[in-house]
C-alpha cells in the first residue's frame, strides 16, 4: 500500500498494491491495520456507499455531515474516473477554506481519505462511472449539509464548465461558503 499526503496533510491518497497474473489480479483494497500503520488513520467504517453516474461532467457535492454524525470517507472508483475534491471546513485550521483534488480511476487504483471536517465532492471524467466509498458514520438526514460546488472562494479548477455540469437540484441550491456556520473546529 502506497500512502501520499496531499497539500492538506490530513487528506491522504492511498494506492493499494495489485497482484496480477494470467488469471487477472488480486488486491487488498482495505486493511485497517495497514492504514493506521502507514497513514495514522484509525477509523471504524460503518457503511459502504456505491454510486453510478451515467454521464461525463456529473458533479456530486460538495457534501458533509455535521456532528455528532460527521463522516470521514475513503473513496475509490471501480469503473471510470473522477476528479475528487476535499475542502477544509475546520475553523482555525491553517488550511481552512482550501481544497485538494486528485484523479481517482479504476485504472490508477487510488483511493482518497477525506476526514471529518471536510466537504467532499467529485466530477466524473468518463461516462458510466462507479464510485464506492466507506464512511465512518451512517447517513443522518438532519445532519446532511453542503456548500456550493463552484464557489469562487475555493478556486477549484473543476474539469467541467459550470453551465455543462450535471447537478442534482440539491447541489444546484447549496449555500455559499461565506454563509456556512462554524460546523467544525480544528484541533491538533
CA–CA separation, 75 vs 118, rounded Å? 13
CA–CA separation, 162 vs 150, rounded Å? 7
- In Å, how far from its chain's centre is CA 175? 19
Catalytic residue, chosen from 63, 83, 99, 183, is 63
State yes or no: cis peptide before 132, omega within 30 of 0.
Answer: no
Catalytic residue, chosen from 83, 99, 120, 133, is 133
The yes-or-no answer on residue 133 being catalytic is yes
The yes-or-no answer on residue 63 being catalytic is yes
CB 17 within 8 A of CB 1: yes
Which residue in this structure is represented by grid cell 473543476? Answer: 158
Q: Is the dihedral of CA 160, 163, 166, 168 positive or negative?
A: positive
Residues tagged active-site: 63, 133
Amino acid at each position: 500500500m502506497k500512502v501520499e499526503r496531499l497539500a492538506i496533510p490530513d487528506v491522504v491518497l492511498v494506492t493499494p498494491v495489485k497482484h496480477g497474473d494470467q488469471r487477472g489480479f488480486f488486491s487488498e483494497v482495505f486493511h485497517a491495520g495497514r492504514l493506521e500503520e502507514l497513514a495514522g488513520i484509525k477509523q471504524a467504517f460503518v457503511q459502504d456507499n456505491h454510486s453510478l453516474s451515467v454521464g461525463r461532467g456529473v458533479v456530486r457535492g460538495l457534501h458533509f455531515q455535521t456532528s455528532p454524525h460527521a463522516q470521514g470517507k475513503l473513496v475509490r472508483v471501480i469503473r471510470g474516473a473522477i476528479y475528487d475534491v476535499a475542502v477544509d471546513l475546520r475553523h482555525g485550521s491553517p488550511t481552512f477554506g482550501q481544497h485538494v483534488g486528485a484523479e481517482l480511476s479504476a485504472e490508477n487504483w487510488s483511493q482518497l481519505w477525506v476526514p471529518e471536517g471536510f466537504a467532499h465532492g467529485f466530477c466524473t471524467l468518463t461516462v458510466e462511472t462507479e464510485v464506492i466509498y466507506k464512511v465512518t458514520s451512517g447517513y443522518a438526514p438532519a445532519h446532511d449539509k453542503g456548500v456550493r460546488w463552484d464557489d469562487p472562494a475555493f478556486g477549484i479548477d473543476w474539469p467541467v464548465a459550470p453551465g455543462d455540469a450535471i447537478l442534482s437540484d440539491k447541489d444546484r441550491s447549496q449555500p455559499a461558503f461565506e454563509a456556512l456556520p462554524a460546523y467544525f473546529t480544528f484541533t491538533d
